[in-house]
Structures are given as structure tokens and as C-alpha cells.
């Protein structure tokens, strides 16, 4: 929208003023991690300056302050995702730990040799490997929803995979390698009709698409703070309350227990049951500040702005001779993936860095989808709401130059 003031937003992010090799930084590696607004940096500094204490465990003033700050952050997450209760919000180290938590608890208890788990061809390794590790011990089958050559999930093939043995469908909301937005609600509804539970990986969707868990209705939803302008080392597992309370704990230790005897220990209900030991208190508080910041701008406005910017970038990039776009799904968010004819992806990354442009090159921890489309790696610019049309122009102009020079020297 015209009210979307990208220049005001950019002023909130001090690192965007950073100079790289004499050029102003152009951060287009948002799918790997996002930059942090001053309010998040200040919130963490304030925590350590005025509030720092362990939580839940002392009568003193600072314990009350830190506990309030931590639980306030949980409440912000609950509102942001439209969860029913703060008891459904478990803080983890990130998406990876949240998926491993579900595999080690719910998966451990509910998956056996007759069972099947459905993943999609788009998954990040974080939503493949934990299930493979568990499958080795439990003997269940892993099935994969295929994609077409543009990177769209084939829902009609998914329907054929569902059967009475399907216990879990675990899939990503947005592909980190291609940007495909999956038809999450349909996939979830179909899974539930088949009696399966659903884990939705929101690592790449939370910062681009408004999440309403009451509408989407997954059983588990996971994301990382660092992908939504918050700190690293903090993330979220959402689980439906009755489900979380029915499954065994993840790690044992302090904070997660009600009563410990050598003969028998009883556990707290969720979320404490899953938060053993001293967690990442300050960064949880920082994540709360990040989500408040995003709420202040509003995801509908962000989504609209980014969608237009992505279309602009796609149109320009398509016109560059020698560029092959990888993944041209009907619905996409944030990510462009491409290769240049005759020039290695690494060389493109290095040449872009020479003028201050940060993109990811490689397999993006999503080897199965790149291989499905015939690639081992790609160049991946990924946008956030602080990127501008001018930055896209510089990116595309630089790629044109690389192509031009590459004919001679690369």
C-alpha cells in the first residue's frame, strides 16, 4: 500500500546502514536469517540492564521482573499466532529443536511399525532427518508428497498417499529453497479427515503470511525467532493443549517438574513440562519485542508490499539472458532461486558480495527439492519488508554485469 513506508522501516534496522566493501549493505539473505530492529536490540539490553534473573524460582524483585517479561513474551506469541492459550506455547531453541521435540515425544509414543508419516518434497532437512532417525528405531514408513516441475505440491497425489495408517503429516508452509506457499489449510483438513495429526513448519511463513492457528488448525506449529526479526537461539513449538499434556516430556530437569522423589517424579503441565532447565530467557523477551514490532506494522501490509516486490524482482530477473529461475509456483513468498548459465553459483555469490549484496548460494538445507528439479545448488536472494525496489534494481543490474563479464572471465 502507499502507506507502507519502507524508508521509515529501514531506519529501524541499524545494520542496514552497514558498509560492505565500500557499498551499502543489501541484505537479501532473509530466508537464512533476518536483521534485527533497534527495539529488539534495546529490549535485550534492557533485560540484562534492569531485569536479569532466573525465572519462576525466587522471591526477589528481579525474579519477578524477569518472569513477567518472559511470560509476557509467551503471551505475545500466543496472540501473534492466534493460539487459544499460553499453555500451548513452548519456547525452544528454534524450529529444528521444536521438530525434534515433537519427534522425540509425540513420535516416540505414537509411531510404530505399521504406521506412516507423510512429508513433502519441499522440506528443509530439519523436517526430514528427525523423522528418519525416529523411523530407524520405530520402523514406520516415510512417504513424500511430490511436486510438479514448478515446485507446486501435487495435492491429488497427496490424497492418494493418505490412508488409515497415516499418523502424521509434517510439511512446510513456505519452501525455503523455492518460496512455494503450500495449500496448508487443505492439506491439514485432508489429514484430519484421515485421522492423522499435522505438524506445520512455519519457519519461512511467519514473517511473510499472517498466521491464524484457529483457522489453519494444525496440531503442531513451529518457527524460529531469528527468521522474524528476533534473536537466534529462541523459537516456538505450538501444540494443542490437550495434545501437549498427553505426551511425555522431552528433557528432564529443573523447571519441568511438580515433585521429585527417587521413587517417582510428577511433571508440570505444558508448557513448563517441555522447558527443562534454564532456557533462553533474554532472547524469548527479545522475540516478544520482535513480534510486537511486526504486529505494529501489520502482516497484511507487509504481505502486500513483499508480494509486489517479489513480482517485480521475478519479472526483471526473468529478462536477464542466461538466468534460469528455479521454482515458479503459483503462490510464492520471499524467495527467488536461480542459476546463471556457465557461471558457478558460488562465483555469483562472491561477485554479488563484492558490491555489498548478501545472498545465499548452496543447497539451502533442502537437497531433495533441488535434486527433484535437477540441481545440486542455486543462488537464492530472499526478500523481507525492509528491501526496496532500488535494491532489486541493483541486484538485477549486477547479475547482468556478472553474465556479461562471465562470458569472458568466469
Supply the angle between the helices 299-318 and 281-297 in degrees, to the nearest 10. Answer: 80
Burial of 255 (C-beta count, 10 Å sphere; 0-12/13-18/19+): middle
Q: Which cell goes with 208?
A: 511473510
Contacting residue, 166, 204, 207, 382, with ligand PMP by CB under 6 A: 204
Residue 98 beta carbon to ligand PMP: minimum distance, rounded to whole angstroms: 8
Closest CA to 333 of 202, 178, 172: 178
Closer to ligand PMP by CB, 174 or 399: give it: 174
Place of cell 521475478: 314
Q: Confirm whether 303 is a catalytic residue.
A: no
96: contact with ligand PMP by CB under 6 A? yes
Determine which one of 86, 358, 365, 372 is catalytic.
Answer: 365
126: contact with ligand PMP by CB under 6 A? yes
Strand, coil or helix: 324:
strand
207: contact with ligand PMP by CB under 6 A? no
Place of cell 516456538: 236
Place of cell 536461480: 338
Q: Which cell goes with 150?
A: 514448478
C-beta separation of 205 from 179 below 8 A: no
95: contact with ligand PMP by CB under 6 A? yes
Closer to ligand PMP by CB, 279 or 406: give it: 279
Candidates 8-16, 92-100, 337-345, 383-391; binding stretch for ligand PMP (CB under 6 A): 92-100
94: contact with ligand PMP by CB under 6 A? yes
How many of the chain's residues bind ligand PMP (CB under 6 A)? Answer: 13
Strand, coil or helix: 352:
helix
What residues are paired with 268 via a beta bridge?
none
Contacting residue, 172, 180, 337, 382, with ligand PMP by CB under 6 A: 172
Candidates 13-21, 90-98, 262-270, 314-322; binding stretch for ligand PMP (CB under 6 A): 90-98
332: contact with ligand PMP by CB under 6 A? no
176: contact with ligand PMP by CB under 6 A? yes
145: contact with ligand PMP by CB under 6 A? no
Q: Using CA atoms, how far apart are residues 336 and 356, in angstroms rounded to an integer?
A: 18
Candidates 39-47, 83-91, 198-206, 246-254; binding stretch for ligand PMP (CB under 6 A): 198-206
Helix residue ranges per DSSP H, 201-250:
213-216, 241-246
Q: Which x/- pattern over 338-377 shows residues binding ligand PMP (rule: CB under 6 A)?
A: ---------------------------x------------
151: contact with ligand PMP by CB under 6 A? no
Closest CA to 405 of 364, 334, 355: 355
C-beta separation of 340 from 399 below 8 A: yes
Residue 203 beta carbon to ligand PMP: minimum distance, rounded to whole angstroms: 3
Place of cell 517441555: 274
Active site residues: 365
Q: Which positions lie near ligand PMP, rule CB under 6 A?
A: 94-96, 124, 126-127, 172, 176, 201, 203-204, 224, 365
Amino acid at each position: 500500500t502507499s502507506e507502507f513506508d519502507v524508508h521509515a522501516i529501514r531506519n529501524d534496522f541499524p545494520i542496514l546502514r552497514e558498509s560492505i566493501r565500500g557499498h551499502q549493505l543489501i541484505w537479501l539473505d532473509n530466508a537464512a536469517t533476518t536483521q534485527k530492529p533497534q527495539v529488539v536490540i534495546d529490549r535485550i539490553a534492557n533485560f540484562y540492564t534492569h531485569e536479569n534473573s532466573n525465572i519462576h524460582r525466587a522471591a526477589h524483585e528481579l525474579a519477578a521482573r524477569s518472569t513477567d517479561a518472559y511470560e509476557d513474551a509467551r503471551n505475545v506469541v500466543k496472540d501473534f499466532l492466534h493460539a487459544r492459550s499460553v499453555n500451548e506455547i513452548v519456547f525452544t531453541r528454534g524450529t529444528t529443536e521444536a521438530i525434534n521435540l515433537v519427534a522425540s515425544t509425540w513420535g516416540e509414543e505414537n509411531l510404530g511399525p505399521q504406521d506412516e508419516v507423510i512429508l513433502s518434497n519441499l522440506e528443509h532437512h530439519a523436517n526430514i532427518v528427525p523423522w528418519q532417525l525416529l523411523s530407524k528405531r520405530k520402523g514406520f514408513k516415510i512417504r513424500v508428497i511430490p511436486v510438479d516441475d514448478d515446485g507446486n505440491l501435487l495435492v491429488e497425489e497427496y490424497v492418494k498417499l493418505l490412508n488409515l495408517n497415516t499418523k502424521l503429516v509434517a510439511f512446510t508452509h513456505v519452501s525455503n529453497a523455492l518460496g512455494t506457499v503450500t495449500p496448508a489449510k487443505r492439506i491439514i483438513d485432508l489429514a484430519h479427515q484421515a485421522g492423522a495429526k499435522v505438524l506445520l513448519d512455519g519457519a519461512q511463513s511467519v514473517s511473510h503470511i499472517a498466521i491464524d492457528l484457529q483457522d489453519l488448525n494444525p496440531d503442531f506449529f513451529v518457527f524460529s525467532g531469528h527468521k522474524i526479526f528476533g534473536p537466534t537461539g529462541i523459537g516456538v513449538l505450538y501444540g494443542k493443549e490437550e495434545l501437549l499434556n498427553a505426551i511425555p516430556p522431552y528433557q528432564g530437569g529443573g523447571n519441568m517438574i511438580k515433585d521429585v522423589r527417587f521413587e517417582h517424579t510428577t511433571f508440570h503441565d505444558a508448557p513448563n513440562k517441555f522447558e527443562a532447565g534454564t532456557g533462553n530467557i533474554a532472547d524469548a523477551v527479545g522475540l516478544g519485542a520482535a513480534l510486537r514490532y511486526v504486529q505494529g506494522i501489520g502482516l497484511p501490509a507487509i504481505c502486500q508490499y513483499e508480494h509486489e516486490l517479489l513480482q517485480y524482482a521475478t519479472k526483471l530477473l526473468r529478462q536477464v539472458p542466461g538466468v534460469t529461475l528455479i521454482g515458479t509456483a503459483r503462490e510464492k513468498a520471499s524467495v527467488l532461486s536461480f542459476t546463471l548459465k556457465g557461471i558457478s553459483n558460488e562465483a555469483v555469490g562472491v561477485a554479488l558480495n563484492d558490491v555489498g549484496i548478501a545472498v545465499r548460494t548452496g543447497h539451502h538445507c533442502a537437497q531433495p527439492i533441488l535434486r527433484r528439479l535437477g540441481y545440486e545448488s542455486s543462488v537464492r536472494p530472499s526478500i523481507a519488508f525492509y528491501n526496496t525496489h532500488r535494491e532489486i534494481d541493483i541486484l538485477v543490474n549486477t547479475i547482468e554485469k556478472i553474465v556479461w563479464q562471465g562470458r569472458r572471465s568466469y
